[in-house]
Structure 1
Amino acid sequence: MSAIVPTDHWIVTPSGRLFARQWQPQAAEPARAPIVLLHDSIGCVELWRDFPARLAAATGRRVLAYDRLGFGRSDARSGRPSRAFVAEEATTGFAALREQLAIGRFVVVGYSVGGGMAVEIAARTSTDCEALVTMSAQAFVEDRTLAGLRVAQAQFADPAQVKRLARYHGDKAAWALDAWLGQWLDPAFAAWTLDDALPRVTCPVLAIHGEQDEYGSAAHPRRIVDGVAGPARLEMLPGVGHVPTRERPELVVRLIADFLAGVA
């Protein structure tokens, strides 16, 4: 894979600036819709590691990723996100990224809670969303999800774990943890689902999920695939947990590249 030099951008929103990064392969075809990546609950651009560059090289498409407000290099925010935060990303950070970087048609790829946000984006932008890929996405609050969160909560009781997280989020690390664990473990969030958004997704969908995902069973990708209005495919990955881009990066890149080759 030839080196792809990323370029960085700052997206201005009424609530603060967002950090964004773009990878553009030398042989990129301008007519192909770019891919926008949405990170997980405590993720950021840096934690995608070399996955965006691999994906850009394999697909010949421009790839973009951004830090949501409160994460990574983006500005801090106060207070826990609202219980509608998954749906709200479509009209806040993502909408600002599209407008300021002049993104027309696009492919959206979301990991974990970013997968839920990607579903909401696809549901709201049916004329511009060319394809949707979810990876390890949650579609509802499952007992297995809560069990995995409680394990993570116990692990992050160790200050050393919080210090590691601060390498990516700086002094926003404690906020990011509460925005994740505090939100998902709040009984008031237990009724959240993607059920309202799924029937409004009309583009082709690929749902990737590890069979050993500690934050959600196969019920999540099945609910996504069965619930959308457009053509959808499920890929369960044997022996893979919650982070397929780190556990089986070559396979994930190939699955997405093959899927998009059949879309346009």
Structure 2
Amino acid sequence: MKNVLITGACSGMGLSATKLFLKRGWGVLMTDLNEDKGIEIKNNLKEKYENVWFKSSNVAKSLDVKALHDFTVENNIKIHSIINNAGIFTAGKLHEVEEDKLDLIFDVDVKSIFLTGKYFIPDMIKNGGGTIVNTGSVSGMEGDYDMAAYNAAKGAVVNLVRSMALDYGKYNIRVNNVCPSACATPMFLSNPEDVIDMFNKANPLKRICTPDEVAKAMYFLASDESTSCNGMNLTVSGGLEVHTGQPVQNEH
């Protein structure tokens, strides 16, 4: 049996991934800031799945990630894959973004990947390999209005995967990103209905992606179903990013 560490595991894409990996026979170590919710979800899943664990942590803090690693050692949980899913969003033009908000989004969306790698990659090297899947975004591949800090953070994730893939491929560690567009997570669905409708209409499929669809892409990249995939930014967007942005031009 393989085990996966999933960050931001208590809601949205992380929770969908947790359920999918368990359904497909993996053990899952969930981590999230929300300890009460995490314990409740873990206890509910325990009724059906034996190998599910929860450890509360702030994956943007080194001591927390070290404690998370110590938890795996103490409980003899060998981690074969990491899903770096923890992330936050902040809006605003560059001059409107508060410095502390910029620091926070880079800590959660980028530094957390550095920290899980720092503590868990040496184990993967020792154990002969593994996989890492980061949650990037189409917003790291293209630009958006009023999203300077988020574009910058996810842009860092989009390029970090290439560096990691080059450095760790020789250790049989494959590193890839899933890059969703707007996704029907509880956080996104808290937007006003007209905003959600606008995002649906902008998509070629006329709907935004779902957490379950992103989880399937995460599983593909984490599993042996993708053994030659390395350094990829796999979009889960319905084709949103393929449009040049130009209007329809009729023949004349």
Q: Same fold (TM over 0.5)?
A: no
Larger radius of gyration: 2
Higher helix proportion (structure 1 or 2):
2
- Could you state the TM-score of these two structures normalised by the residue count of structure 1? 0.43
- Could you state the TM-score of these two structures normalised by the residue count of structure 2? 0.45
